Structure 1
Amino acid sequence: MRPLGLCALFLLIWLNTALATDNAVYPVDVTHWWVSLGEQASIQVIERHLAEQGIVWITEAMAGSGTSRYMDVVRRRVAAGNPPMASQVIGYDIQEWARQGKLANLDAIAEQQEWDEVVPFDIQHLSKYQGHWVAAPINAHSTNWLWLNQPQLSRLGLTVPDTWPDLIHMLEAARLADIIPLAIGRDAWEHTLLFESVAAGAGGAEFYRRVFLDLDPVALDDAMLGLIFQRMSQLREYMDEGMNTRSWDQGTDLVRTGQALMQVQGSWVNGEFNAHGMIPGQDFACFRFPDTQGVFLFNSDQYMFFKDYPVDPGIRNTFASTLMEVELQRELNIATGAAPARVDVPRESFNQCGQRAINDLRAANMRRTVMGSIAMGNANPGKVKEAIYTVVSDHLLGRISDAQAVDRMKAVIINAARSQGN
């Protein structure tokens, strides 16, 4: 990571160049965490569309996927009086910054582009603070996906797993064929991403919403929580020791190269496969996690804008409005593998998995089964998310039993409900 002062130096160089040549070039300082191959392709789409508006961004990219280590860098910059103009952000981190009064109000742009009409309500819930737009959502990743290596799937004679027994049958077939059944990495957010799909599949949409979004202690069900952790223990048997040192994208590479059969991950995997020129139905397959058909667990990448950054408001508004344009969201999400954050983007040019994601989002939006991802911070404030991380990861790594995990998860929900006055 380069020193923070270097950003200011680059901005001065760009500004002096613009003034000397009379070109309308507006350099701005932006932070993001898109550093993998597929993510870099996505960033290039945004950069190109902004460049057409005369906006050139000086980027500070840090791997972190919206984790605390990424946001700690942003916090240090803000505390030092050197905020970026815009920062990538997900979930309840938006609310934290808005509560501190750090974010610019985007209501005028939102009204002009009719964001209220085209962005699903559950995403709007995170993009707004006290009824005002403070962030611009650029996609709607879904996390309850299975990603599979198509040649291995065909070789093993396997088909779509509609139910939990179907999934176990697939994993067992992979183990007998001496390939890694289920690729996963070391991070607690990955473990929790797997957990949320298991929870939504076992308990259904209503259980997931009441327990993990509403934090309703009345909805806690010992038997259901026990079933969820029993299923997580079953899945543990199909993971390899390499998970202890692996990142999420290294797990994706195992599936891509056929060393592993499947990965439970968000639709950013589609973007990684796209970047490698892979074709769904030929090189890979995408299925909904068993028993979560009709549910869209989402993670929406967004951009927030710090109001203390010294820039003409018109440039900031142009940046935000460009992010929300139909064509940018179409091109961007072909690259990211996600559904656009707008429900009115044409789907024809997306690949098979992308079109399925768009269709699923629109259908789930009508049924009110678009629900925030626990793992990606779209379901709960940071302290609750981290507490769930600890329980889920300790359990998946075999540090606590199923029964202990149930008790600890109940305590997390009850304590969170009390702190929020539920």
Structure 2
Amino acid sequence: MKIRSAVAVLAATVAMPFGLAHATDLEVTHWWTSGGEAAAVAELAKAFDATGNHWVDGAIAGSGGTARPIMISRITGGDPMGATQFNHGRQAEELVQAGMMRDLDSVAAEGKWTDVIRPKSLLDSCTLDGHIYCVPVNIHSWPWLWLSNDAFQKVGLDVPKNWDEFVADAPKLRDAGIVPLAIGGQPWQASGAFDVLLLGLGGKDLFYKVYKDKDAEAAAGPDMAKVFKAANDARTMSKGTNVQDWNQATNLVITGKAGGQIMGDWAQGEFALAGKVAGKDYSCLPGLGYDNPMIGTGGDAFYFPKLNDEAKSKAQEDLAKVLLSPETQVAFNLKKGSLPVRGDVDLAAANDCMKKGLDILSKGNVVDWTDQLLSADSQKQKEDLMSEFFANESMTPEDAQKRFADIVASAD
């Protein structure tokens, strides 16, 4: 995206007169629109409003892939919001390089962010050329398999303990009219499921060879071939899902119409909203249930466009502080299903699945996720390929792997 030329436009159009009656209103854009997500974002709004400012909600329906271009277009077009959600990593890199985002160095120093945010890679993902440009608000980990206890009980099976057992149980679920694996039609869902299979089956070393080192030879090799075979199994198991949005796929698991779903821990918010209890109504397998599971350190962060309005700029700082307060971290993440970025908060109310995640995190079993390792363009190419692979049964795993290796070879 060519955005540097828009800096002059931004500078000329964002100035606003100081002293307006609603000068401390701050529009915050995000893509949290499902029931569980809305409950979580309400906690952020409540905490910000308590500062005397007012959260003006700018929710954009659809996934991040839908929302991000709209957010970027507004900023580059001279109509910036007060704050905007991105996934921490490289999604806002060009905006920062173009000088359109304010740094948060003074707020970070005051709040001792380097001492309280963990793992360190979260803050590193918000840092460019030595300056901090975003507030990470959670650790959202992709590598989870969510299972419907009711679905397996219906067919007389024990809840599987790992991916291999799940694949073996799939035909019996299918015979009972239950979709084994729910994957919605949004491209990022198929891509995310593939990445989870890569980490779970190939391990951290292969994951980093492919996405961090951009090793095309590894991407084309026999270990990756095993991952593509598993992706082919997942494609077969997901046939008949027939929903688009991720939360609709989660609802199939909640209602026992699907056996399971590979999805990030944000799915917990939907289970909680439906009144489902972890360990009783549903089960969760971090790392697909294999030994020594890893937590991905992806997640959400808020960035702050530069504004020529003193009151709103001050409100931006107030929001940045609130997002990382211990109280907000607990209230938000318990409803979002994610893990807090602060290592000093009390999560005694965490459910069984969140406790599993916290335990993995305490052991240091973490891996940078693809939003941190790949540019937005490379990520989009991968999403498009996986979307096509899961939708088109005529594409063989071998053909898909060849195309994947080409993407890795040119990735940045």
Q: TM-score, normalised by structure 2?
A: 0.89
C-alpha separation between the residues in 2 aligned to 1:237 and 1:218?
27
Amino acid in structure 1 at the alignment position of 2:148: N
Alignment partner, residue 274 of structure 1: 272
Assess, with a 3 A threshold, how the Cα gap between structure 1 residues 247 and 220 changes in structure 2: closer, same or farther. Answer: closer
Amino acid in structure 1 at the alignment position of 2:94: E
C-alpha separation between the residues in 2 aligned to 1:293 and 1:247?
31
Deviations 1:332-354 (A, max 9, x none): 00010111122222221111112
Task: Decide whether the 8 Å contact of 2:204 with 2:367 is kept in 1.
Answer: no
Amino acid in structure 1 at the alignment position of 2:46: R
Deviations 1:62-90 (A, max 9, x none): 023321x3122122322332100100111
Aligned partner (choices 384, 388, 399) of residue 390 of structure 1? 384
C-alpha separation between the residues in 2 aligned to 1:232 and 1:317?
44
Alignment partner, residue 89 of structure 1: 86
1:378 corresponds to 2:377? no
Comparing 49-58 with 349-358, greater Cα deviation is found at: 349-358
Aligned partner (choices 394, 407, 422) of residue 402 of structure 2? 407
1:333 corresponds to 2:330? no
Deviations 1:265-310 (A, max 9, x none): 1111101111122111222111121437421124311100011352
Deviations 1:136-163 (A, max 9, x none): 011111111111112223443323423x
C-alpha separation between the residues in 2 aligned to 1:184 and 1:220?
24
Assess, with a 3 A threshold, how the Cα gap between structure 1 residues 303 and 173 changes in structure 2: closer, same or farther. Answer: same
Q: SS state of the match for residue 177, structure 2?
A: coil
Alignment partner, residue 12 of structure 2: none
Alignment partner, residue 168 of structure 2: 169
Amino acid in structure 2 at the alignment position of 1:343: G
Amino acid in structure 2 at the alignment position of 1:199: L
1:343 corresponds to 2:347? no
Aligned partner (choices 77, 80, 103) of residue 80 of structure 1? 77
C-alpha separation between the residues in 2 aligned to 1:252 and 1:311?
43
Deviations 1:235-258 (A, max 9, x none): 222123343x42211111111111
Q: SS state of the match for residue 253, structure 1?
A: helix
Aligned Cα RMSD in Å?
2.2
C-alpha separation between the residues in 2 aligned to 1:159 and 1:130?
48
Assess, with a 3 A threshold, how the Cα gap between structure 1 residues 357 and 295 changes in structure 2: closer, same or farther. Answer: same
1:188 corresponds to 2:187? yes
Alignment partner, residue 202 of structure 1: 201
Amino acid in structure 2 at the alignment position of 1:266: G
Alignment partner, residue 281 of structure 2: 283
Task: Decide whether the 8 Å contact of 2:211 with 2:373 is kept in 1.
Answer: yes
Task: Decide whether the 8 Å contact of 2:389 with 2:395 is kept in 1.
Answer: yes
| Deviation at residue 379 of structure 1 after TM alignment | 3.1
Aligned partner (choices 58, 61, 64) of residue 62 of structure 2? 64
C-alpha separation between the residues in 1 aligned to 2:35 and 2:261?
18
Comparing 131-140 with 164-173, greater Cα deviation is found at: 164-173
Alignment partner, residue 137 of structure 1: 136
C-alpha separation between the residues in 2 aligned to 1:328 and 1:385?
31
C-alpha separation between the residues in 2 aligned to 1:236 and 1:223?
20
Assess, with a 3 A threshold, how the Cα gap between structure 1 residues 153 and 145 changes in structure 2: closer, same or farther. Answer: same
Assess, with a 3 A threshold, how the Cα gap between structure 1 residues 246 and 314 changes in structure 2: closer, same or farther. Answer: closer
Q: SS state of the match for residue 285, structure 1?
A: strand
Alignment partner, residue 247 of structure 2: 249
| Deviation at residue 173 of structure 1 after TM alignment | 3.1
C-alpha separation between the residues in 1 aligned to 2:262 and 2:144?
6
C-alpha separation between the residues in 2 aligned to 1:151 and 1:403?
36
Alignment partner, residue 318 of structure 1: 318
Deviations 1:188-235 (A, max 9, x none): 100011101111122111110121123133544521121111111122
Amino acid in structure 2 at the alignment position of 1:408: R
| Deviation at residue 392 of structure 1 after TM alignment | 1.8
Q: SS state of the match for residue 230, structure 2?
A: helix
C-alpha separation between the residues in 2 aligned to 1:60 and 1:221?
43
Query: 5+ unaligned residues in a row in structure 2: which ranges?
Result: 1-15
Task: Decide whether the 8 Å contact of 1:94 with 1:126 is kept in 2.
Answer: no
